[in-house]
Chains A and B, each alone.
Chain A
Amino acid sequence: SQQGEEDPQALSIQEGENATMNCSYKTSINNLQWYRQNSGRGLVHLILIRSNEREKHSGRLRVTLDTSKKSSSLLITASRAADTASYFCATAAGQNFVFGPGTRLSVLP
């Protein structure tokens, strides 16, 4: 498997529900970031969590990091149709990032 791998590959929920996606990685990291990609667009940075942090919030986003399990989760609360996108975790070990294959989130109105 890849250094960063998101789970599930695809997720479909109703508007207003919460969406949770997970990221697992293999080696020690400096930080972990989550990005969003709308269809046909570039990636947009959502949130960065450093290796010495356990939880971080940004608006409706909540990210947790468990370095002992080498995993992170992204929670989107009260989802909206506009949250429909692919979400990628990027793990930073050394100079560069490694991106996972992403989770495709569909929020149905």
Chain B
Amino acid sequence: NAGVTQTPKFRVLKTGQSMTLLCAQDMNHEYMYWYRQDPGMGLRLIHYSVGEGTTAKGEVPDGYNVSRLKKQNFLLGLESAAPSQTSVYFCASSYVRGTDTQYFGPGTRLTVL
């Protein structure tokens, strides 16, 4: 099993550009999450999904959109990137309840110039 994978691993954007981060999991998990991690801070939840076709806002959703068209994939979109979105983005999944063990991907390091 590959677990949770993320693409791309690194990306540099210019302000105003758009991009999509892809997260895939092969564990048949219902719950999926997108977090961002900034220096000196813990992970902050951006958006999450409790199942195929459903999404919800987390702690810091502004400037991001998500989609969960297939159970195994969770996409994070930045429509118009800003320097404040420079961060490391982590995807995670869990089996059923949102408070069960989460399995994390390796992260995507995004720099917005």
Q: Judge whether A57 is part of the interface by a CB distance below 8 angstroms.
A: no
Q: In the complex, how many angstroms separate the beta carbon of B110 from the nearest chain A beta carbon? A: 14
Which residues of A90-106 are within 8 A (CB) of B? 90, 92, 94-102
- How many Å lie between the Cα of A94 and that of B44 in the bound state? 16
Number of A-B contacts (CB under 8 A): 58
Task: Judge whether A33 and B101 touch: CB under 8 Å.
Answer: yes
Distance (Å) between the CB of B54 and the closest chain A CB?
12
Contact with B along A72-109 (1 / 0, CB 8 A): 00000000000000001010101111111110000000
A33 to B35, CA, bound (A): 17
Q: A residues engaging B (CB < 8 A)?
A: 2, 4, 30-31, 33, 35, 40-45, 48, 88, 90, 92, 94-102
User: Which residues of chain A are within 8 angstroms of B50 by Cβ–Cβ distance?
Assistant: 95
A95-B98, A97-B98 given; A102·B103 CB < 8 A: no
Interface set, chain B 79-96, CB cutoff 8 A to A: 90, 92
Q: Which residues of B contact A48 (CB under 8 A)?
A: 101
In the complex, what's the smallest C-beta–C-beta distance from B2 to chain A, in angstroms? Answer: 13
Query: What secondary structure prevails in chain A residues at the interface with B?
Result: strand
Contacts A42-B92, A101-B40 aside, 8 further interface pairs with beta carbons under 8 A come to A31-B99, A42-B104, A42-B105, A43-B90, A90-B102, A94-B99, A99-B35, A101-B41
Q: Chain B interface residue count: which class?
A: 20 to 34
The complex places the Cα of A101 from the Cα of B44 at a distance, in Å, of 10
> In the assembled complex, which residues on chain A have CB atoms less than 8 Å from the CB atom of B58?
96
B40 touches A96 (CB 8 A): no
CB pair B42–A44 under 8 Å, yes or no, is: no
Q: List 20 A-B contacts (CB under 8 A).
A: A33-B101, A35-B104, A40-B107, A42-B4, A43-B102, A43-B104, A44-B104, A45-B101, A45-B103, A48-B101, A92-B99, A94-B98, A95-B48, A96-B33, A96-B45, A96-B48, A98-B42, A99-B42, A101-B42, A102-B42
Nearest residue, chain A, Cβ from B45: A96
